[in-house]
Chain A
Amino acid sequence: MDEERRGTWFGFGFCGFGQALGSGLGRQVHSPEPLRTPGGSLDVCRVSASWSYTAFVTRGGRVQLSGAAGGTADGCTDAWASEELLVLLRAGPGAGAELQAWAPGSAMRGDPLWSQAVQEAEHGPSRDETQAGLLPLLPCARAYVSPRPPFYRPLAPTLRARRLELGAEHALLLDAAGQVFSWGAGRHGQLGHGTLEAEPEPRLLEALQGLRMAEVAAGGWHSVCLSETGDIYIWGWNESGQLALPTKSLAEDGKTTAEASGLEEDGSEVKRGSAGEDGAPAPFIAVQPFPALLDLSPGSEAVKVSCGSRHTAVLTSEWGKYGQLGHKDTTTLDRPCRVEYFVDKQLQVRTVSCGPWNTYVYAVEKEKS
């Protein structure tokens, strides 16, 4: 692992508010483009994208906003962007850190909407790089931030939270033992407990019990997690194919999973998986309330996953209307598709971070072997 080789951030997808996304021209970027963040080449270590703006956190502790909201702030270790709030973690007065919530339009000038002193993490140095990217989970792992009041939400200490992700109406938590918990609204199966009922408190995902998870990610109405062995489990709403399962909306347009290639030429009568004539049910999945194992191309191991509002990036699927799938067009997909750009340019992707309608990727050049 070559730490000195700095990589570059790329972005693609919706940038209708002018948020830094490659060239930033027009409303959408369909193919990955290197970021040209304002203020020259910044040493960005974390990207947190909301719908109308993106927050970049540099290793030097600077937070830069781009898009409908602007401004910079120093002395920050982490940032988390949402439409309602911009949350910053700053080195506060004294030893501890300070959690600040700003209105995005304030450009971080004046006073924050509210602020709170928080404990540092129990283990690890406070300025460790790995601290960046924990938000909305607070470093002490005893609470998390929500864009809706109450903003500060405590977590039971027994949970030993390692990572926390928020969807449109649910939350996912990964604990130190690699177990996944979920709570919130469940009407689209995003909690993974097999029902459509809501859960008021964190509830363990029994279907994944015993499997050690390394990462979790929450999209608008779907959830993904990655096991330590590189398997991907995915569940929730599949209306745009974000679960990489066949979706009815695409079938009606004749573009769903090809059992045979060359589907588009056929054009007519795409009765997908139908068997419908003799009464066999069409295999469209609208909602997947239990975790399902995602089959990527054999031999590949997923190491990072991130979810947008209706798309998933590991190497994958779904809602492509604003180009956030990076395949040079705006087709929506319900099967995993490799973003060829990075293969063509001999780049190795290190991390991926999705905004609601766009995707940011950090890649380094491959070692010449």
Chain B
Amino acid sequence: MPSSRGSSQPRDQTHVSDISRLGRWVLSTSATWEAIYIDIDGLVLYIYIFIYMYIFVCSYTYFPLAPIRLSCLARWRAQHAWETLQALLPHTKEELKLELGEKVEGSVLMLLQEAADLFLGGQRRECLQTCEVLLDYSWEKLNTGPWQDVDKDWRRVYAFGCLLKAVCLCEPPGDATSVAAALKACDMGLLMGAAILGDILLKVAAVLQKHLLSGKRPAPGPSQEPPGTKKARNDHVPIPDVTTERTVPRLHCPSLQYFKKHFLVPGRPVILEGVANHWPCMKKWSLEYIQEVAGCRTVPVEVGSRYTDEEWSQTLMTVNEFISKYIREEPKDIGYLAQHQLFDQIPELKQDISIPDYCCLGDGEEEEITINAWFGPQGTVSPLHQDPQQNFLAQVMGRKYIRLYSPQESEALYPHDTHLLHNTSQVDVENPDLEKFPRFAEAPFLSCVLSPGEVLFIPVKHWHYVRALDLSFSVSFWWS
């Protein structure tokens, strides 16, 4: 390895061998420098060009000259992101208008108009203030009454406030914190708001996300850490002995008619093999990939061992925070990214999955199928409950232990009598209190361990209990 000893030698006797390897490469590829013409002027010029090319090369790999790379190129990227955003957004009052019904009071319409005017007039700070008022008021409306009864117009108002807030926040000079805040505002609009202006929040979020990630290179190919072998906090995973239990039947790619006749119509669970195992997610998804595609996005997380517990709560955090707090480090609580329509929020992930063909046997439209993500560490539990639609549960990462009871056994499962939890059983399936719930012991059930690539059909109203045996990612499809 040639060593550069340039400083200890007289300059006019610097040898080619003393130039670093990189330098030699630079020289060899630099067409204008054919002659290794070493003299004082040439040396100075060589050094100048060398440094220039060094920076150029460093900006595309991880070299310790990162600070230089960030300040120049990041500013360029911020400007570029801002221009892309500007091109996305409406420029006129007529385009920046929402069609709203009677439910939205005149006072709010005034504020919407004011916010739009301030935005188009470039008054960022005042626009942000008006947006806060709009967001707070519509938030109160969103929290009044059951969610399904909330008028969609209030959700549109909320989304509108989030949109203007996000764009105002990331106006240049935008640093990483303000862009992250802007992305969070977009996510709040996507989570609680309704689609406006042609799904503009999705587009804005995509631009912001790209800008935030622009410093890191995507890790191509398979991950360093194969899913499912993440080291557990404790190695005592009580894997139920399914050999002593009646198992869910398995079929390899049954025909539509066979599935309909033997399982859909009679309401019998079955595991479908060969249906999902070629989906791109099966090979692509890993902790690293998820962090890269969705890391900075805000998602709802359930904290607590199960949703029937008193200490159970829901909170919002970014996917990165969720992974670092509840998956990587020694988590104190169980956190579960559960029942979240992640694929509506991040369309890029939707391309890694498909809708099972068997859904066409239902009456509903494809757009009405609800796709939920279920992502969490080993040990997450969904208490025994039933859902009002048919369900295909596709396992992508890790394994899940699942128990299924027929709706005919409902009485032996002792559902809660409150309206809020009437679809949930009071019994802890793997640790039942048989004194309190005696009939539970006799109720027949099917069980299985669902592994990556497999799809479980859970018929409508079929009671199911799920526990993750490993770090797990499942995708559920609710259809009718």
Question: Which A residues fall within an 8 A CB radius of B?
Answer: 14, 16-17, 27, 51-53, 68, 83-84, 104-105, 168-169, 185, 187, 195-198, 220-221, 276, 281, 286, 309-310, 321, 356-357
Contacts and interface: CB of A to CB of B under 8 A. Distances in A.
Contacts of B1: none
Among the interface residues A14, A185, A187, which one has the most CB atoms of the partner chain B within 10 A? A187
Nearest to B418: A197
Interface residues of B, number: 21
Contacts, number: 48
A185 B105 contact: no
Given A52-B107, A83-B105, A84-B105, A169 B133 contact: no
A221 B139 CA distance: 13
Contact of A105 (B106, B137, B145): B106
B172 to A, nearest CB: 26
Interface string B93-125: 000000000000111001100000000000000
Given A83-B107, A276-B332, A169 B144 contact: yes
A310 B145 CA distance: 16
A168 B129 contact: no
Contacts of B136: 321, 357
B419 interface: yes
Interface in B128-182: 129, 132-133, 136-137, 140, 143-146
Contacts of A198: 419
Contacts of A357: 136
Contact of A221 (B137, B143, B311): B143
Contact of A281 (B105, B110, B311): B311
Contacts of B110: 17, 68
Contacts of A84: 105
Contacts of A321: 132, 136
B87 interface: no
Among the interface residues B107, B129, B132, B136, which one has the most CB atoms of the partner chain A within 10 A? B107
B313 interface: yes
B105 A220 contact: no
A242 B469 CA distance: 41
A68 B107 contact: yes
Given A104-B106, A187-B146, A196-B420, 12 more contacts: A27-B129, A53-B107, A68-B110, A83-B105, A83-B107, A84-B105, A185-B146, A187-B420, A198-B419, A281-B311, A321-B132, A357-B136
Contact of B145 (A52, A104, A169, A309): A169
Given A51-B107, A185-B145, A195 B418 contact: yes
What 7 A-B pairs are tightest by C-beta distance, nearest first?
Answer: A52-B107, A68-B107, A168-B144, A83-B105, A169-B144, A105-B106, A16-B133
Contacts of A276: 332
B140 A168 contact: yes
A187 B421 CA distance: 12
24 contacts: A16-B133, A27-B129, A27-B133, A51-B107, A52-B105, A53-B107, A68-B106, A83-B107, A84-B105, A104-B106, A168-B140, A168-B143, A169-B144, A187-B420, A195-B418, A196-B418, A196-B420, A197-B418, A197-B420, A198-B419, A220-B140, A220-B144, A321-B136, A357-B136
